[in-house]
Structure 1
Amino acid sequence: MDSRTLLALALLGLVCSSEGAKILGILPTAGKSHYIIGAAYMKTLAEAGHEVTVISPFPLKNPPKNYRDIELTGMLEAAASQDEDMFKYKGSGFGSFAIMLMALYGMFPEVVCKFVLQHPNVVELLKSDEKFDLVIAETFLTESLYGFAQHFDAPLITYSTFGNSMWTNDLVGTPAPPSHVAHFLLSFADQMSFWERLGNVVATVVDRLAFELYYLPVQKQMYKEGFPNAKISFEEQMQNVSLVFLNQHFSVSSPRPYAPNMIEVGGIQVEKPKALPEDLQKYLDEAEHGVIYFCMGSNLKSKFFPEEKRNAFLKVFSTLKERVLWKFEDETLPNQPGNVKIQAWMPQNDILAHPKVKLFITHGGLLGTSESLTHGKPMVGIPIFGDQMMNVEKGVRAGYSYLLDYDDITEESVSKAINTVLGNPSYTKTAQLISQRFRDRPLTAQQTAVYWVDYVIRHGGAPHLRSPAMDLSLLQYKLLDVYVVLKYGRGGGIVLNFKEHLGCKEVFRIEPSEETVDKTECLACEMRFDTEKVLLLVVYNPPGRQRWAQILATARPFLCVMNGDLFMTPKKGP
């Protein structure tokens, strides 16, 4: 028995020895892919002995005894009333970014959060005397629903169905330097050119402004309406998230800074392969030259492909020796070749695990990507919106994916994409290499999630994991006040503002002499912290050690000295 197995058994023993808790899961979105991730958490926790209650539009057909559904009846119909053709959200570059930002911030609050908070089954739960030890909620434009935590006086854990974003980072104080952490709606990787970094900064600022000025006020209003007797404010609830789970892993995404209460559990929905239905098993087993699996996910539907794009795929498929399994939502497919089999639903993970599958044609969603990489299958990616562009671009740069632009789908481009991946063994070899890294963990994603859920419960919400950054304003966090003082503190107007801001009693300057800039120049002020007077001395172009001694000797006992010479412009002259 190796060391990793022993560690897993020890941690599982710790998990199983803890008393089962009552956990409320908020899985509010009508997208099946989002539900699959949330359900993976809740089913795993139920198997670990916890008593779970799940609010979602997808009740389990055969739930275990300790798993209770509160069904959001009517949500699927309400979501279906929106435009089903998600291909219309396809854009390019910043056009795609703008389209998605408007769609997300404009659509979701009404369709999801208000529907949940006003649903009779949810209202009944809120009026009940039930108690919960923990609330788990999806972080996908659902901030008003975090109020369930304060209502039941329970710690809050949130989870992201994709990777980290501003929505998750803000909850726990995780930094996201735009120099190497790309916005999730852009296709940039971690190593960006100057123009990509510039675009990333612009996108981040635009998103921040839209989020703070337009979107959050809507969520705040729904929080007030849904929880009129809330114990804490909307802002306070946003600041009281115990832990965030991310559906990503550094082997596929990129190393980046995380707060200690932001945990990667990429691939948590990936289960051990199950037996395939008899017809699919036979179809795959008898494929002499292998199988191509084609699926655009649960939100994008292949039946909405424009006719010319659909026919481009069919013409190419008809020339291949491989068989094709296509998740296609209509019962019939005009001009369907003999080597193509269609079904409205297919067990994706079980299919990708089959050794005869040679290629996965996908939209680039993180569910399909993680399942494909788990089983070491290369991909042709057709990203449409959201994080799909980034996921596919990462695969292209790593060498296990080929990008097929939706706007450029023709018979020639489809043929080139498929034959490039099938004809170049490096794609499969790279996918298998990444698969080894993705699966190489001390605990499975499910075991990791159970451990951290129990950790939060055992430690009363684990407040010791909370980052001090959560208590800083944007001005303080970015050190903007410090930079302003150090760079512009010599100007009279700025000095007066600085004096007023800090409550200074005296402000004076020591100017350099005209013959040299090597003399001391500083801004000094006396202020009061609590009951003590402190002399703050900002020194520019500091002289030698002897002059420092003279300055310090004339200062008061309580002295703060900040060396500001690094913020000055270089001296002129030879």
Structure 2
Amino acid sequence: MNSMGYSEDTLFRRAPGYTRIFILLIAFAVTCSHSGKVLMPATQTISTPSHQMLLSTLTERLVRSDHNVTLLINDLKGTKGYANGSYSQFISYNVTSCDSNQTDTLMKLMHEMAFEPVSIVNRMQIASTVLFTQFASCQDLWNDDNVLLTLKQSKFDLVIDFPFSACGVLIAHYLQVPFVVVVPTMRLPTFHEGLYGMPYPSSYVPFDLFGLDTDEMSFFRRMVNFIKPLVSGILMKYVLFAKYHKIQVDFDIEPDKTIAELYADASLILTHVNEGTDYPRPRTPHYIPIGGLLARPAEPLPQDLEDFVQGSGDDGVIIFSLGSAITGVRRRDLLEVFARVFSKLPQRVLWRHQGEPPTDIGENTKLTDWLPQNDVLGHPKTRLLIYHGGSSGVIEAIYHGVPMVIIPLFGDQSAHAASIQKKGMGLILDKNNISEETLMEVIQTVINNPRPTLRIFTFSFKERVQHYSRIHHDAPMTPLQRAIHWMEHVMKFGADHLRPRSAHMSSIELYNVDVTVFLILLCLIGLYIDYVILKRLCNCCCKGKAAKISKSKGE
């Protein structure tokens, strides 16, 4: 009511028509212009260009939607990978605990091991280097009082976290701001899904991101899949989280909680998967699939590439790329194997390769330092993608309906390859078993031969990938629109209505281990009581019979 006793609704109805329209337009503009202040800690000193492309795609759309996005960076990596327009401003801090040589050494090691067997020692070497540099960069942040004060005074509405380090989670809780986790790979429990309350039944949800398990596992594989989360939980608690816990205590960041409990407060989990790379399984309300952020309708190719592709005729073109991290085949013998096989194919081959070229390259093969992969995949003459199995390229191929030959090198690539092969969209070629014969066979099989995949029906690899392509496109929103919508939703309404109770339950409570043990004990107690009663009855019966017998003998 106003001072004259009229309600706002009455005043609105009595206002002239043009005034009411003006008020409605103002109200609509105010409602739709909910801009937020978003912080994205980019504290990782080691990350691949593909990961940065995913994150910058999200932040660029946030900026275009009138949100203010601040990058938190270290001076070692800077804003590399984040183009102008993908952030509003940045806050930088100094890194003193590590240097660029460690990053360069790791990238060199990855190139050297790309086509070599990766032993447990090699994996531990890579993991320890990554974990050390990530923690060192995080520790330097917390040693910078000026940056921490700036963050406190900025009053952010949302933090975007990358799950490779607990640093972002600590920052979000330190600032008391909701946080969203962006997982750049498959929705697998390796990346703390259990901490967020995501169920992962070990009977059909593969835990190991670095293996070839699918949702169909043998008894032995199911047993291994059951044990791995238990071992991983111990390693996370006593190895990975232990160092970050010291930061948590030193800065009084809810010290009564564990790091795992801090993770459980995530408002959203945005995971780069779609129906083609993931398996059906239970989902929580705060899990949002956003697979396909980089996939888009194809744009015209540069003229030299267009001329090369058009010259392939009806045979079409094959793309060979090993992603953004591995820029070429360094092993000379394998380099020549690929070149000789490609030269024998009727198709033309676009080969993304940086480094010394092969000597036996065919006239049908074009080497290029850079490739507009999405646009070539969308070209009608593209027949096949030979790829290492990174999530972005795999989903781009599904988006455009192109079958694949996957050569997993390391990391999550094996899991993607297993899913693609299981669903009939391509085949796996073991990097340790590459020869002219195996490479030619797998290429010819995927391009030319149909494969029975569903009961008595026969589908080619091309038909299967086109099937999943149609599924991907049959959605009311694009992955990017979905991601932005839910981040804005959390900034407006919070996430209490999305976050499941399971995120804050122990494994004993979640899986009713205590209830099961109690019921088993109850049954055992009941059986014991029955045993005692039956034993006494038997004793009474036996004593009665004995008394009768002795009485009859006495007579």
TM interval, short-chain normalised: 0.7 to 0.9
Q: How does 1:27-176 map to 2 (within 5 A)?
A: 27=42, 28=44, 29-55=46-72, 57=77, 58-59=79-80, 63-64=84-85, 67-70=88-91, 78-86=102-110, 102=124, 105-118=127-140, 124-128=146-150, 129-140=153-164, 142-164=165-187, 165-176=189-200
Q: What's the offset of the Cα at 1:42?
A: 0.9
> In the superposition, relative to structure 1, how do residues 81 and 100 fare at CA in structure 2: closer, same or farther (>3 Å)?
closer
Give the partner amino acid of 1:363: H
Contact 2:327/2:354 (<8 A) preserved: yes
Q: What's the offset of the Cα at 1:65?
A: 8.6
3-state DSSP of counterpart to 1:369: helix
1:290 maps onto 2:324 in alignment: no
Q: What's the offset of the Cα at 1:64?
A: 2.7
1:358 to 383, 389, 406: 383
Q: Distance in 2 between matches of 1:105 and 1:43?
A: 31
3-state DSSP of counterpart to 1:42: helix
Deviates more, 1:241-250 or 1:461-470: 461-470
Contact 1:267/1:370 (<8 A) preserved: yes
> In the superposition, relative to structure 1, how do residues 335 and 465 fare at CA in structure 2: closer, same or farther (>3 Å)?
same
Contact 1:168/1:244 (<8 A) preserved: no
1:438 maps onto 2:461 in alignment: no
Gapped regions of structure 2 (runs ≥ 5) = 1-27, 451-459, 538-555
Q: Distance in 1 between matches of 2:346 and 2:336?
A: 18
Hey, what does 1:303 align to over in structure 2? 329
Deviates more, 1:450-459 or 1:206-215: 206-215
> In the superposition, relative to structure 1, how do residues 38 and 511 fare at CA in structure 2: closer, same or farther (>3 Å)?
same
Contact 1:144/1:222 (<8 A) preserved: no
Q: Distance in 2 between matches of 1:286 and 1:69?
A: 47
Hey, what does 1:370 align to over in structure 2? 395
> In the superposition, relative to structure 1, how do residues 151 and 400 fare at CA in structure 2: closer, same or farther (>3 Å)?
same
Hey, what does 1:468 align to over in structure 2? 501
1:221 maps onto 2:278 in alignment: no
Contact 1:249/1:438 (<8 A) preserved: yes
> In the superposition, relative to structure 1, how do residues 292 and 509 fare at CA in structure 2: closer, same or farther (>3 Å)?
closer
Hey, what does 1:323 align to over in structure 2? 348
Q: Distance in 1 between matches of 2:52 and 2:434?
A: 30
Contact 1:87/1:384 (<8 A) preserved: no
Q: What's the offset of the Cα at 1:231?
A: 5.3
Identity %: 26
Deviates more, 1:110-119 or 1:176-185: 110-119
Hey, what does 1:501 align to over in structure 2? none
Q: What's the offset of the Cα at 1:376?
A: 0.4
Hey, what does 1:345 align to over in structure 2? 370
Q: Distance in 1 between matches of 2:29 and 2:108?
A: 46
Q: Distance in 1 between matches of 2:288 and 2:528?
A: 50
Give the partner amino acid of 2:386: I
3-state DSSP of counterpart to 1:384: coil
Contact 2:385/2:402 (<8 A) preserved: yes
Contact 2:197/2:264 (<8 A) preserved: no
Q: How does 1:176-191 map to 2 (within 5 A)?
A: 176-183=200-207, 184-191=209-216
1:506-558 deviations in Å (ceiling 9; x for gaps):
x998545654999xxxxxxxxxxxxxxxxxxxxxxxxxxxxxxxxxxxxxxxx
1:260 maps onto 2:285 in alignment: yes
Q: Distance in 2 between matches of 1:185 and 1:453?
A: 30
Deviates more, 1:100-109 or 1:79-88: 100-109
The two structures have a TM-score, normalised by structure 1, of: 0.77
3-state DSSP of counterpart to 2:52: helix
Q: What's the offset of the Cα at 1:301?
A: 3.4
Q: Distance in 1 between matches of 2:127 and 2:424?
A: 34
Contact 1:117/1:123 (<8 A) preserved: no
> In the superposition, relative to structure 1, how do residues 273 and 173 fare at CA in structure 2: closer, same or farther (>3 Å)?
same
1:450 to 474, 480, 484: 484
Q: Distance in 1 between matches of 2:472 and 2:30?
A: 24
Q: What's the offset of the Cα at 1:433?
A: 1.1
1:226-257 deviations in Å (ceiling 9; x for gaps):
xx353555534323211111111234311111
1:130-162 deviations in Å (ceiling 9; x for gaps):
22110001112x113312212332111111001
How many residues are aligned here?
486
Give the partner amino acid of 1:481: D
1:406 maps onto 2:431 in alignment: yes
Q: What's the offset of the Cα at 1:48?
A: 1.8
> In the superposition, relative to structure 1, how do residues 68 and 77 fare at CA in structure 2: closer, same or farther (>3 Å)?
farther
Q: Distance in 2 between matches of 1:394 and 1:323?
A: 27
Contact 2:321/2:387 (<8 A) preserved: yes
Contact 2:106/2:126 (<8 A) preserved: no
Hey, what does 2:35 align to over in structure 1? 20
Give the partner amino acid of 1:485: F
1:396-432 deviations in Å (ceiling 9; x for gaps):
1211111111110011111111111122251111111
**CA-based RMSD:** 3.3
Give the partner amino acid of 2:319: Y
> In the superposition, relative to structure 1, how do residues 356 and 44 fare at CA in structure 2: closer, same or farther (>3 Å)?
same
Q: What's the offset of the Cα at 1:294?
A: 0.6
Contact 1:359/1:378 (<8 A) preserved: yes
2:520 to 452, 469, 487: 487
Q: Distance in 1 between matches of 2:31 and 2:300?
A: 29
